[in-house]
Amino acid sequence: MLTCSNCGTKQNTGKFCEECGGALQIEQASATIATSNQTNEATQGSQQSAASTAVNSAQSSKQTQETVEAIKGGLSHYWSYLLELIKNPTTAFQTGNSNFVNGLVTIILFTITYSLSLYWLANSFYKQAFGGFLEESLPFFAINARLVFGILIMFAITLGSVFAVTKLAKHQDGFKTVLAQFSGLVAPLLAVNLIAIIGGLTSSVELTIYPLVLSNILAFVIIPVLFVYEKSAQVNSKGQKVYHSFLVLLMITVVTYIISSSLLSGTLEELEEIMYYL
């Protein structure tokens, strides 16, 4: 059967349509051509989709590789920064805003290592109290969250007091610089906290408590005093640097007492409830 490509009239013979004179085509051939066109379009679409998927996969792989390289570079940079401060903490006074992120990382690491050492020591004693037959441990997140929160509050109080007194001494450093330099002085204490972690894991009271007490006194008493003294001396070597140092210690003590008196009681009650339901 022949079909007119112009008007669609069907006839058995001839080359041209009897109705309009248009060219005639065999229906099967037309269907074959249409099918072939559809197949070609589907193949092209599949090829385009595969190519698009390959491009997206390559871009995703490239982004992942760039992210991994950026993380490696950041870790390498922080490790070099940390080693330099451990070798000579005085170089902390030469840092600036560019080390603000490193300073935040140092404070976070200090907080985590400090809280973990206390948790593992308490957990060891908790299990020993039941003769080693107890398989359950103290609630990790519930206890560590409170410890981390408390240590971060101490850092906030200390840094706020240090910044306020340095401004009173008319030093021009901004808060980011103060945090970067202060945390640089705290950086060597990470090694002390690691010793405390080992003590907590081995259930050694002396190896845990002594390093933590030392770390606590240095971070929240001695370093703030030395920091303010240095900053005040930079402004005026004959100024009131001694009184400024006493003032920052007084501020830390008073603010810590006020905040702890309102928060400590509630925290202790929560810890007692946790212990009760274990």
Residue of higher predicted confidence among 18 and 252: 252
Task: Please report the pLDDT score of residue 176 as a whole number.
Answer: 93
- Between 227 and 266, name the one with better pLDDT: 227
The arithmetic mean of pLDDT across residues 136-147, rounded, is 82
In-domain check, residue 138: yes
- Asked which of 45, 61, 77 is the last residue of a domain, the reply is 61
Q: How confident is the model at residue 181 (pLDDT cuts 50, 70, 90)?
A: very high
- 205 is a domain residue: yes
125 or 109, which is more confident?
109
Measured between alpha carbons, how far is 56 from 50 in angstroms, rounded to an integer? 10
Among 169, 179, 165, CA closest to 237? 169
Mean pLDDT rounded to a whole number for the chain: 81
Q: Is residue 77 part of a domain?
A: no
Q: Indicate whether 149 and 16 sit together in one domain.
A: no
Q: Does residue 195 lie within any of the structural domains?
A: yes
| Phi and psi angles of residue 169, each rounded to the nearest 5 degrees, phi first | -80, 5
Question: With 90 as the cut, is the pLDDT of residue 10 above it?
Answer: no
The answer to whether residues 12 and 135 belong to one domain is no
* pLDDT tens, position by position, 188-218: 999 999 999 998 888 788 888 899 999 999 9
Both 140 and 251 in one domain: the answer is: yes
Mean pLDDT, to the nearest integer, of 262-272? Answer: 59
- pLDDT tens figures, 85-96: 999 999 999 888
Residues 57 and 177 grouped into a single domain: no
Say if 80 falls within a structural domain.
Answer: no
Q: Is residue 78 part of a domain?
A: no
pTM of the model: 0.70
- Claim to verify: residue 55 and residue 99 sit in the same structural domain: no
- Do both 121 and 218 map to the same domain? yes
Q: Does residue 73 fall inside a structural domain? A: no
Q: Could you tell me which of 176, 154, 160 has the C-alpha nearest to residue 228?
A: 160
**pLDDT at 262 exceeding the cut of 50:** yes
Examine the domain organization and report whether 32 and 111 are in the same domain. Answer: no
Query: What does the block give as tokens for 142?
Result: 């519930």
Q: Do 168 and 220 belong together in one domain? A: yes
Measured between alpha carbons, how far is residue 160 from residues 28, 107, 157, 213 in Å? 87, 14, 5, 22
The domain boundary, picked from 43, 61, 79, lies at 61
Asked whether the beta carbons of 119 and 144 are under 8 A apart, the reply is yes
CA distances from 251 to 152, 162, 181, 245, 246 (A): 17, 9, 20, 10, 9
pLDDT, mean of residues 164-189: 93
Q: How high is the pLDDT of residue 189?
A: 94
Give me the pLDDT at residue 16, please: 66
In a shared domain, residues 15 and 147:
no
pLDDT at 156 over 50: yes
Q: What is the structure's pLDDT at 251?
A: 95
Is residue 69 included in any domain, yes or no? Answer: no
Using the predicted structure, report yes or no on whether residue 220 has a pLDDT greater than 70. yes
The tally of domains found in the chain comes to 2
Q: Do 145 and 46 share a domain, yes or no? A: no
Which secondary structure element, helix H or strand E, spans residue 25, and what is its range? strand 24-26
The stretch 216-229 carries a mean pLDDT of: 95
Q: How much is the average pLDDT of 54-65?
A: 76
Where does a domain end: 23, 45, 61? 61
Domain span at residue 202? 88-277
User: How far lies 55's CA from each of 43, 44, 97, 269, in Å?
Assistant: 18, 16, 39, 58
Regarding whether 125 and 224 lie in a shared domain, the answer is yes
Same domain membership, residue 163 and residue 45:
no
The stretch 86-107 carries a mean pLDDT of: 91
